[in-house]
Structure 1
Amino acid sequence: MNKLIQFPYSTILVLGLAKSGTAAAKTLLANGKRVRVSDMKAKEADDVVLELRELGAEVIIGTHPLDALDGIDLIVKNPGIPYDNPIISEALKREIPIITEIEIAYYLSDGPIIGITGSNGKTTTTTLIAEMLRNSNQPVTVAGNIGVVATDTAQHVTKDESLVLELSSFQLQGTIDFKPNTAVLLNIFEAHLDYHQSLENYVKAKCNIFKNQTNDDYLVYNAEDKTLIQEIKHAKATLVPFSNKRKVLDGAYVEKGYIYFKEEEIVAIEDIVLVGEHNIENILAAVATAKLNGASNEGIRRVLKTFTGVKHRLQYVDSVRGRLFYNDSKATNILATQKALSSFQKPVILLAGGLDRGNEFTELSPYLGSVKAMILFGETKYKLKELAENEGIKNIVLVDNVEKAAQEAYSLSQEGDVILLSPACASWDQYRTFEERGDMFIQAVHRLV
């Protein structure tokens, strides 16, 4: 098991438990650090509270008192806790460094680190990279924002094993020394401004992925993203671009129906199963990263000829009597639904709706040309109905939930149609998570078979 050999802190406050905080606290304790934990939601009788106390941690529950900072030389913060939280504001005044647990994972990892971030496409690209390496007989472990705590995983990574990390802006803002051997920057769109307070802060957090890199490291970046073009001027890493618009000789690109890496033909576009123009960008980033880390062309081709997508992200579900069902429940905003709609040339029956955040959805209008019907649900169904009427869509059905939407869509469909769940809204008006919403859609589709 890997140890925190050069970790320069001794007395640490873990702020917020959940999975990442619990893993961080246990790891720090196992490495001889003095640990204080503060969590708002934990209860005295919770197993994790009892276990951490038994391991030697001081545990404060139900509050984040400012005196919890006394004697502390580092804070490990749950990524979801904003920086305007009173205890974080006080810590900043006291100049106490604040990290998230991926910084600990960096100190623990004994092998090369591949870090992937961006506003969209992180999970798909992370999964593609890992599968390309595995199919090339390269040892690899995946963790981070993808749902696996990086600290837990990094303890067991060997020097010959790549640690592939999906990284959010929340995680990256809490880094000091973190440095991936290969950093991947997919794109930057305006997002999470309620947390970061400004676009400038959001961009800075994302770009922390390469701030400590040297020219021995690689930075794979989207050569068509204007924001990234400006930001990478500060990078010291070896730059490796990707582009779906033009030929970039020192990176990955599309030419005459093929994907290339540094003028080497990799795979024909027509052989790729994963749909969507935006996924071509994700594939280019993955190909470049995989090649830089030892993947074979055959391993890459094997993945791209079989990979149908990450669950809930424009995921192909099934074909029922010639109707193609796609689950894009992760499309919790208008931009994601725009990308989904632009992925299909066939007639589309769109299933949409959810939590009302005040959007009017007019930005979807240019993307509705192939939509023959809309099945609408959730708080926003009347707003979306008005949009559909304004666009001249004749078949508009309002239903109670996703299950009924799948049934109605099938009844209206014909052979060759795409039935697409891409809600353009968060799920919280009816479902706990977008995963729950997507799972219910998948179950409804399978009942049609």
Structure 2
Amino acid sequence: MNLDLLIKNVDIITMDDQNSVIHNGFIGVSDRKICFAGEKLPENTGFKKEIDGKGGLAMPGLVNAHSHSAMTLMRNYADDIALESWLFDNIFPIEAKLTDRDVYWGTMLGIAEMLKSGVTAFADMYMFMDEVARAVTETGIKANLCKSPVQFFEGGELKRLDKSQGTVDYYNRYHNSAEGRIKVFVEIHSTYMFNEQTLRNAALLARQLNTGIHIHLLETTAEVESSKKDYGMTSIEICEKTGVLDVPVLAAHCVHMTDSDLEIMRRKGCSIAHNPSSNLKLGSGIARVPEMIGMGINVCLGTDGAASNNNLNMFEEINLAALLHKGVAMNPQLMKADTVLKMGTYNGARAIGFDDTGKISEGMKADIILIDTDKPHFYPKNNPLSTAVYSAQASDVDTVIIDGNIIMQNRVFTGIDEEKIKYEVHSLSKRLLVR
């Protein structure tokens, strides 16, 4: 057997159906895929490149299932404010100044931050999405990118202009591009930014393109009231009525769900991206995640944008998701380590259209991270699953591999100029963040 890459001397969290852990094992990679993962190296194995894991921990790359990566440009700018004021009085005015160049560098910064914290794939919803696709293509990460078929404002007024052709063009240009590293969904920002007709149009467009929809749903109580006023029903119910839920749906937040809403989402096979840090920071509430999981809904994890988090650290989201719901329910047996880790890996990969990643097993794409566990907060080394959820930090990620390509090793990027990214972002922020 001839390999492109051999990884040795690592404990391996496979995230397979048995949540297996392989101690002091080997991972073989060839043609962008995992050939084997086990305790023994197959006989007559040759390799082009070798990585010594040095007793560390290997696991599938993390998946950030909801982000607005270029919002790194607004990090630490508008904090401790209710969501509506945060968005309409602070964020929208800055976004009105953004250029395509701003979004490119903001996205590059977000991708660099995510890669350094072990994220190998993310879902993004923003503006100037051609620049986001450009950044994804250049950096080697995987992404689900979405494009809105509606332009909301013209001349400062809300008009909801039809831009469906732009979404079609974007899909045709980028879906499965970058050697399959980019997937494209249709964006529906929210039911309160769309209306019944534009929801129907977006749902029809997604069906015609044979793709999914990425949407914010029921993030705040204000949205609950808005939906009652505008539609006479919940946001989930109007989405069902207009056909939005008839395609694969990635729904962010879903904090204020009725029992009926939950049942609709289960029946329709929707995925829900839980964003615990953002929901807590904005005072939006706490989603009914244990109930969702108990119903069999595919629940994954996201960071939201760095303007409301204020980082893109998925290890932080994994840890918080594990702790938060235990405390709220006063039940330490909720949200066990393997459940939450699956939310941050395989569940997220499924939700954003990458069914061939999120596990370390034969035939899956080689999206792997190596964690340096030779640090005080990892000793004594007991349960690797607990280690990843309760002890690991973003800064512990040593190596990132995507499609078998080494993107970062020894915390140094192989093809990304980190210093240039920081310089460019620092320079352009001086124009954007003047109040």
TM value normalised by structure 2: 0.25
Which structure has the larger Rg over C-alpha atoms? Answer: 1
Structure number with the higher strand fraction is 2
Query: Which structure exhibits the higher relative contact order, with contacts defined as CA atoms closer than 8 Å and separated by 6 or more residues?
Result: 2
Q: Report the TM-score when normalising by structure 1.
A: 0.25
